[in-house]
Amino acid sequence: MAASTGLAAFLRNRALYLVCDVRCASSCSEGFSFELNKQCTYFPSTLQQARLKMNLLRTALRSNSTFSTLHKSHGFPLLLRVTPSSLFSTEAGQPSRDSISADSFLKTPPPGVVYGRLIGIRKQTLKTDIIHLLKDCKLTMDDVKVEYNRAFVPLAMMLQFHSSNGFDQAVRMLARQGRLYKLETADRAQWDIVTPYDGKTILMQGIPRNATYDDIGRLLSGCDYDQTSLNLLGRLGAATVRFRSRTEAMNAFITKNRTFCLNNQISILVLQ
């Protein structure tokens, strides 16, 4: 009986000593493990309790470090931190990149130039005829070009509209008037490839193949034209020359049409 009472007292003292040792070694886990293994070699049950206390102590130390981290950040994650000024500010925030790209995608593109190719014109069709026909489209002389082939036969007219609405309106007007013209869509390359004569160039047909530049000069005597622009087209039996204005070109058409060059009658056509 006395032996069991002495053994219980000894175990109680050892437990108290282990608690004190745990408190002293709380700052160093390695030293704590060394002291625990050294002093509890012959007491398996006490060693198990001490290991349990060591695990509790490690958990406490980890929770303490987590609490200090939360305390530094005021206990809120970074995503939930907002300033009072951002909560109650009346200023509009800056839109994100996704919203900007979405707005630019949905935004209607600005009106641009649209080109069309009018088919069905005749040799006597003038620019002013088409401008008057499509008067609601508000075309000018610079918005119309005549497309010729190599023999200077008019094939079509290239039209330049200032918006897609103008092109659609021209299609409706042609359909409503029941004309034989057909308007097709074209691109900038088709527009640029057509040479603009602008009514300042005349085509003289019926020129003899043996005619020279001096013969053409005598034919155009009294007309003010650009001598460097004179071009003889021997295979076609024709020649072209450019004047400085539409008025001078029309004056040459009036005065020189149906005249003769080396006994050949000449017909003149004003290129548009």
Split at pLDDT 50, 70, 90, the class of 235 is: confident
Q: Give 186-202 pLDDT, tens digit per residue.
A: 999 999 999 999 999 99
Residue finishing a domain among 158, 193, 228: 193
CATH number of residue 251's parent domain:
3.30.70.330
pLDDT at 40: 43
Q: Give 155-193 pLDDT, tens digit per residue.
A: 999 999 999 999 999 999 998 887 689 999 999 999 999
Between CA 270 and CA 250 the distance in angstroms is 7
- As for how many domains the chain has, the answer is 3
pLDDT at 30: 44
Which phi and psi angles does 96 have, rounded to 5°?
A: -75, 170
DSSP label at residue 95? P
What number is the average pLDDT over the span 235-241?
Answer: 93
Domain hosting residue 171, numbered range: 114-193
pLDDT above 50 for 228: yes
213 shares a domain with 157: no
User: Would the pTM count as exceeding 0.75?
Assistant: no
Q: Give 9-38 pLDDT, tens digit per residue.
A: 555 555 444 444 444 444 444 444 444 444
What residue type is 234 in one-letter code? G
Q: Give 43-80 pLDDT, tens digit per residue.
A: 445 556 667 767 776 776 665 554 444 444 444 444 44
Q: What angle do CA 222, 228, 232 make, to 5 degrees?
A: 85
Residue finishing a domain among 165, 193, 221: 193
219 shares a domain with 188: no
In a domain, 95, yes or no: no
164 shares a domain with 118: yes
213 shares a domain with 186: no
Q: Give 103-149 pLDDT, tens digit per residue.
A: 444 444 345 899 999 999 988 899 999 999 999 999 999 999 999 99
